[in-house]
A = this chain, B = another copy of it.
């Protein structure tokens, strides 16, 4: 297959700017490798609310469902965050999209780059050689359990729930990834307090029997929040539930000192979505200073997913070349910064 339908959802904040660079790069990959990418754009997030009243218009959902893969920018707008009464929120669009596409596994690879190690808030000896792959469950748990607020009584609740079928697929995925790596899997949970965590532990233990070459260990989420900073090299593959994954994976993203570089993939049975982890970063919007590399490396994950491994490999090499040669945005080099689109063009040209 050489012909792919790509749904493009630029979203909010710096989303459109960084996604534009990914498109530029896919164009040069199409040329270099003789592929064809058909891009269909969709509205999503605060952008979509302003234009249609709906954070995920049906049309956008249809485009995504019909696609081979979705490229996504970012979501979120401060005008909604500070309004607890807002009935429609940008995030609902992303959550609904995840659910509708069944994107049960959010995957985040974390590595350190030799030339950027000094950028980290952590000491070199702590982080050098860190290489973690986080699997976060993405379509269940407290995010999707029933929610209820009784304004009068001044009372709210959120239900966290899991069943075996929601846990097993991502646990298998994580074990399989561990087999390809250093053969170590850590389940992060709170099994000393939560029933759902105890179910996660149980299911993990059962599934472990099918992967005897992988060492499974368990870590409470509070301890994990410490160990990620004290000793990140302890970790190989991590698997965890939705809310803990949200917190832990963002925490872990600071290790390398360059959040603007970190990609993610959200994988389902029939669909997949690729997005930088940095979020909408509204303060930087329109200034041409956003780092496009996280979006570009998300695009590389997309190429892997589409089984275009050669192109993915080429793209990753190009990114590394740009970074090692300091062809980077202001977050990584304040002395001689390049703009978002300069960095994107440099990488596209290198391909």
Contact = CB atoms under 8 A, between A and B. Distances in A.
A94 to B, nearest CB: 10
Contact of A201 (B84, B159, B191, B226): B84
A198 B156 contact: yes
Interface of A: 76, 80-82, 84, 89, 91, 95, 121-123, 126, 142-143, 145, 147-149, 153-165, 190-196, 198-199, 201-203, 205, 218, 220-223, 225-226, 229-230, 243-244, 246-251, 253-254, 259
A166 to B, nearest CB: 9
Given A122-B122, A142-B194, A244-B247, 9 more contacts: A81-B220, A84-B199, A149-B198, A158-B160, A159-B159, A221-B247, A222-B250, A225-B225, A229-B251
Nearest to A191: B84
Contact of A157 (B84, B121, B196, B221): B196
Contact of A226 (B164, B218, B222, B250): B250
23 contacts: A81-B218, A84-B199, A121-B123, A122-B122, A122-B229, A123-B123, A142-B142, A142-B193, A147-B194, A149-B199, A154-B199, A154-B203, A155-B161, A157-B159, A157-B161, A157-B195, A158-B159, A158-B196, A190-B246, A222-B247, A222-B251, A226-B254, A247-B247
Contacts of A122: 121-123, 229
Residue from A162, A195, A201 having most chain B Cβ neighbours under 10 A? A195
Contacts of A202: 84
Contacts of A192: 76, 80-81, 89, 91
Given A121-B122, A229-B122, A148 B247 contact: no
Contacts of A201: 84
A251 B230 CA distance: 10
Contact of A251 (B160, B225, B249): B225
A230 B149 contact: no
A351 to B, nearest CB: 31
Contact of A195 (B149, B163, B193, B250): B149
Nearest to A80: B192
> Which of A143, A160, A244 has the most CB atoms of chain B within a 10 A radius of its CB?
A160
A271 to B, nearest CB: 22
Contacts of A82: 218
A332 to B, nearest CB: 14
